[in-house]
Amino acid sequence: MRKEIRFAGFGGQGIILAAHIAGKAAAVYEGKEAVLTQSYGPEARGGASAAEVALDDEFIDYPLISQPDVTAILSQEAYDKYGGQAKEGSIIILEKDLVDSPLKGKNVHRVPCTRLAEELGRRIVANIVMLGAFTAVAGLISKESMLEAVRTTVPAKTIDLNVKAFEAGYEYAQRQGEAS
């Protein structure tokens, strides 16, 4: 069954890398079909950017995303641009400290990705924190496959940090799910 995922934020947050890792986890480690598309403005750093992944058990004949089943957003500008495009009842993951949104409900998850990354000593892994939260709440790709994709994609000297970042996001989202 086709699932559409949109990761969005501002240029420099690693949005495209996060989507690449999710697509790799699904395609390489779970045998699914996956297609990645990306968009960002000419101001590659700072402007809103999005990366989208279509997943399916069968061949994907149309790669573009119209109404995502899961949307993960790391910046206010990206929320303003892409937040309203999610389908009714879809899963939405928002950067708790950077995105102001009136959205409520059990399908809306607020995760302090940047703060959790800073607690690990490197703000740059906020995208991987978000990927961990995405994995915990979306249930589309297994934790093991995502971790393997993280390990085989990031630079070797950053593997431990990225695995810790993934686990921080995963555990935070699980705790929030249990609390609600």
Summarize pLDDT for 13-40 with one digit per residue, the tens: 899 999 999 999 999 999 999 999 987 6
Residue 43 has pLDDT above 60, yes or no: no
Question: What local confidence, expressed as pLDDT, does residue 66 receive?
Answer: 84
Question: What local confidence, expressed as pLDDT, does residue 69 receive?
Answer: 95
CATH superfamily of domain region 3-179:
Pyruvate-ferredoxin oxidoreductase, PFOR, domain III (3.40.920.10)
Give the residue with greater pLDDT, 45 vs 16: 16
Q: How far is CA 100 from CA 62, 75, 82, 87, 105, in A?
A: 32, 9, 14, 19, 15
Q: Are 13 and 126 in contact (CB under 8 A)?
A: yes
Q: Looking at residues 91-104, what average pLDDT do you find?
A: 93
Question: What local confidence, expressed as pLDDT, does residue 180 receive?
Answer: 53
Summarize pLDDT for 126-138 with one digit per residue, the tens: 999 999 999 999 9
Question: How many whole angstroms separate alpha carbon 151 and alpha carbon 112?
Answer: 23
Which residue stretches of 68-125 are H helix?
76-82, 113-119
Strands (E), 22-151: 33-40, 48-56, 70-73, 91-95, 108-111
pLDDT classification of 44: cutoffs 50, 70, 90: low
Residue 45 has pLDDT above 70, yes or no: no
